[in-house]
Each structure stands twice: as C-alpha cells, then as structure tokens.
Structure 1
Amino acid sequence: MTVVEITDLSDPRLADYSHQTDVALKKARGTEHGLYIAESALVLQRALAAGHRPRSVLALGNTVDEARALVGEDVPIFSGPSELLEELTGYLLHRGLIAAMHRPALPSAPALLEHARRVIILENVADPTNVGAIFRSVAAIGADAVFVTPRCSDPFYRRAIRVSMGTVLQVPWTRLGDWPSTRKLLATAGFQVAALALSADAVSLRDFAAPERLALVLGAEGEGLTADALASADTVVQIPMAHGIDSLNVAATAAVAMWALA
C-alpha cells in the first residue's frame, strides 16, 4: 500500500491514534478483541514476532522505510511531520513510529500451566509501570507465564508495554478468576503457592526451599496482598531487609524473588 501523507487530522482512518485512551482502544470498532499501541520499531518487531497483527502504522518521515520493512506493503502507513503527529496523538513520537495492533485472544490458564514450572501472579497491581517492569524481569530472569487478577492493570496498556520494552508481547499471560477457583486450578496442575508479603510467620527467601512447580504471588504496593490471596498460599515468603527497610518496590521484589528461585 502507498504511504499516506497526513493532511487532515479528521481523517477517520486516523481515529486509532487520535488522543485515544487504552480503555477506548480495547473497545475499538472493527476488532474482535480491541487494539493496543506498540511504540518504536523494536516493540513492533517483537509484536510481529509474537504473531500479532498490525491494523496500521503511524510514522515520522524518516522511519517510513523501516516501518514498511517490518509490516510489508499490505498495512497502511500514515506519515507526517512531528508537530502534526504530536497534535494528532497528544504526545511526541520520539521513537519514530507507533502501530495500532490487534489484541490477540488470551490463552487459557490451564494451557499456560501445563508445561510451566515457575509462574508469577499479580494481584491488583494497578500501576502499569510496575506491571511492565515485572514483565521485563520475567523475560530476562525467567518465569514461564504471568497471571493477573481482574483488578490488575492491563499488561497491554501503552505504558506497560513501553516500560517492558515489548516483553509483555513475548511472555505468555492471561487473566484469572477469583481465588477459590485459582487455588483449585493451581493445585490441579501440581503448583505450590508462595505469597510475597510482610508477615510474622513469613519464611525468609534465603531459607525457602522452592518446589518443582511454584506460583509466586505479588500484590499492590501499599495495600499488599488480600486476605484471600494469603489464605490461598501454601507459604508466605519475605525478602530479608537491612537498615530498617521493610520492603522493596513490587517490581524489584519480583526480580529478586525470581533470581533467588531461578
């Protein structure tokens, strides 16, 4: 397809980029599961490698050739000067290009657990920055899948994808139901559950003997894990601290725990 030079910001084909919120993109018309935004050529490349389909690309003039090399001739590429694209999107495209990507269908939880040995469960982690950072650690240090509770921030939100450097698009993940059904699901798959929390009866991470199949549960900063999450755990684990510090940021906690139990 010929590159489309933008002259009119009211062009309906640009609606995916016109100050759209993540929530609005998730409900985008003409899609089965909604859209998400991939920022930068690197993230777009990782999305394509994961089998995700682009609906269109928005590119600065000097990145059009790079965009075409990634998506081919069948995906529309819209281009224009930086000032015009910033007016359209509401932010500066300092990474050169963004793409509106079709959200894939999420896999089933049993399918992800079938061949997994280490998984991460995020309970009600509302900050997409933390979600993205945890996914990056999962990809780098090693876990087989991530599970998020209904109130957890969406890993496909633009900020989460950006902070994760696109690893959200590589690491398998899906959403869970309530804790009784989750506990049953994990037990059936042979997983023990370790909750990272500040608790009087918590086992030090140094002393925790990890089983063959383990689910690590992390909660929101401030609130921590819910009573239902703690009740569903086989063990509560705590990272030993020095200098009177009681805990780490949840993303740092995830990284330390995964490293220690790799």
Structure 2
Amino acid sequence: MLPDQAIRILVANDPRLAPYTSIREKDLTSGHGGRFIVEGKVTVETLLRRGRFAVESLFLCETRLEPLADILTRVPSDVPVYVAPQDVMDAVAGFPMHRGVLACGVKGKTATDAALVLSQIARQSPLPSTLLMLSDLSNHDNVGACFRNAAAFGADAVLLDGQCCDPLYRKAIRVSSGSTLWLPFAHGGSGAEMMQAARDAGYTVWAMTPRADGAPLASLPVPDKLAILLGAEGPGLPDDLIASAVPVRIPMSAGFDSINVATAGAVALAHVFASRA
C-alpha cells in the first residue's frame, strides 16, 4: 500500500529526482546544492526518528514499500515519497541501488563555529563532558567511524577542522550508523582554532599520538571536561597541536606503534567512558 504522499516515477529523467541523479559524481563535487543524501534503512529511519535536519524527500524502490511500512508512518505529510521500479532507481543513482532506500536532507546552516557548539553543550549537558576532535581526516569511512564511536561512548559533540571531509557525505553517514544526523558537530576553521575553543570552554585536550613521550592512556586521571584530539592516518597530528595539548599514547606490543585512527579514538573513548561509569 502506498503512503498518501507517494508519487510513482516511471522514467529516470524525471526532474523531481534531480537531487538523486548521479549520486557518486555529486558526492565527489559537493554537487547536492545544500542537500545531502542518506542511503539505507537504518540511516533513513534515524533521519526520520531523531535527525536534526529537515527531510526534503524520500526515494524508494517499489519492492521496499512493505518492509518500510512502519518507517513510512513517520514521514511528514508534506514530504514527497518517490517510488520507482528497481531499474529506474538504478538509472537515476548511476549504480545498482541494492538497498533501494534513499532520502534527501537539507543541511541548512550547519555549524562552523566550535565555540558556538560548545556554548550550547554547556547549557544542555551536565558534567562530566567529553568531546571528540578531528583534525585533517579526509577519509569518509574514518570520519563516519569516529562519529559512531563518539555516539557509542557518550561524547557530547564532535568538532572537525576545515580540512576534514564532510560528515554529511553519504558514506560517512552510513558508516556512522546515522549518528552524524543527530550528534552535535561543528565543521570548519583550523585545528589550532578548534583546540583554542575547547580550552576556552574549560576542556583539557588529550592529543592522541604514538610518540614515546606520550603519557600511557591508563596513567592519566580523566578530567571532568575532556577533549580527545585525533589526527590523520599516516602523518598523525602536527607537532604544534601536540605541543599545545597533553600527548597521550595507547601502549602497544613491541615493534608496532599505531592503529587505525577510528580505532584509536574508540580505545580512548571507551577508557574514558568506563572510568566514569
């Protein structure tokens, strides 16, 4: 049974589907025009249930209507639900859409000012408080995984400098299990500006690094207001950011000094979460 606002689409060049056309190419060029695309049942459900962004439309394969019946009851009455056969959906997206579930969200005025997000956190969240800060992470999988870890271990917000990729990129949303849609974040500025905003708000910053002079993670008391800073795969954090924070390392077996950045974030966040339990 079709929802009341369902609109059947029979041709791939229907102009109402413009946000969904050639998704991969638009992802690479930020060509969605202030929109973002959400893919898959879990993330679309998150967008509808607890997302903080407006929903512009849904685009579904006709075979997905019955399995999504409960979710579709949450679609606002003024949001169109476009429904098409699988071959039409594949032609629009530009690749096989096996999940058959897409939604288009509107970014609106996403926060670029870390200090503004931190002031909102201060008003809404009692102590203790944890931030995850990301510097120069250009890999969408890593950014998405970092958000998922932050959500799992109770971080209040994620701050990203301007060199990081967009957390509302389709793949980042999917890898984050939809947490980029509801977890507060700010994206912009330099790593130094991001760190200064955290310090001005009273946070101690732990700079995660494999350097031998870093304090072992378990050796440090966990402050009430803590920001965990992660750098890019390979080069890690620059020296000036490490020097302006507390260098912290995760002890590892001899001859091996690094793990994936999202994994390092998960280890640090889990340690903090357990210490406060």
TM-score of the superposition, structure 1-length normalised?
0.90
Percent identical among aligned pairs is 34
**More divergent stretch after superposition (58-67 vs 147-156):** 58-67
Q: After superposition, where does 1:1-262 map in structure 2 within 5 Å? A: 2-20=5-23, 21-22=26-27, 24=29, 27-28=32-33, 34-48=34-48, 49-64=50-65, 66=69, 68-107=72-111, 108-114=113-119, 115=122, 117-233=129-245, 235-262=246-273
Write the distance in 2 (CA, Å) between the matches of 1:179 and 1:84.
Answer: 44
Shift of 1:2: 4.3
**More divergent stretch after superposition (108-117 vs 143-152):** 108-117
Closer/same/farther in 2, CA of residues 13 and 217 from structure 1, 3 Å limit: same
Shift of 1:45: 2.4
Aligned residues: 256
Shift of 1:41: 3.1
Mapped contact 1:64–1:77 kept (Cα < 8 A):
no
The one-letter amino acid of 1:57's match is L
Shift of 1:82: 1.2
**Offset from partner CA, 1:97-150 (integer Å, 9 cap, x none):** 101111142244224323262101110111100111111111111211100011
Shift of 1:11: 1.6
Closer/same/farther in 2, CA of residues 43 and 7 from structure 1, 3 Å limit: same
SS of the residue corresponding to residue 56 of structure 2 reads strand
Shift of 1:91: 2.7
Shift of 1:26: 5.4
Could you tell me which runs of 5 or more consecutive residues in structure 1 were left unpaired when the two chains were aligned: 29-33
Shift of 1:190: 0.8
Shift of 1:62: 2.8
**More divergent stretch after superposition (61-70 vs 150-159):** 61-70
Could you tell me which runs of 5 or more consecutive residues in structure 2 were left unpaired when the two chains were aligned: none
| 1:31 corresponding residue in structure 2 | none
**More divergent stretch after superposition (49-58 vs 246-255):** 49-58
SS of the residue corresponding to residue 261 of structure 1 reads helix
TM-score of the superposition, structure 2-length normalised?
0.85
